[in-house]
Structure 1
Amino acid sequence: MGNALQITAQMPAAEAEALLAAMRQSYSTSLNEHWYADEFRYVPDGERHSSILKKKPAMAAQKRLMAALSLSLKAVKQS
């Protein structure tokens, strides 16, 4: 990622947990919609998720943000 962005945010753990829950729900809904869409119907199950992420950059970004939030929340709980 040559021209990748780095984003920093500070928020209380409760807000981060709420945001993560909302993002997970949104991601799950989007994934379900795309999983059965005609565009991806004939992509083998083992490749379908990555295929969706390649064609839907907002979902790929959302997945990265969810991972970052999860990691940050774990770090806060361990300290």
Structure 2
Amino acid sequence: MKTIIDEKNENASDNEKPVVSGGQNIAIIIGTILFPVIGIAMGYTFYRKDNPAAKKAGRNWLILGILMFIINISFVSTMK
């Protein structure tokens, strides 16, 4: 049996917007693959926020940006 408090909590979570939308997440991932600096910059920006969801997204973008940066450098160095 649901109480009034349970219904208010469910409605509050329905109205909240996510910190990072799915489209924004995909756009930053694609941008990071093409230009790693995007992931590093956006990752650092979102990692500094207080929201746990923003921190998680920022950490993921930061890691992806650093990995893509290393992969791009190693790929360019093998082309010599």
**TM-score normalised by L of structure 1:** 0.37
Higher RCO, 1 or 2 (CA under 8 Å, sep at least 6)? 1
Q: By percentage of residues, which structure has more helix?
A: 2
**TM-score normalised by L of structure 2:** 0.36
Give the structure with higher Rg (CA).
2
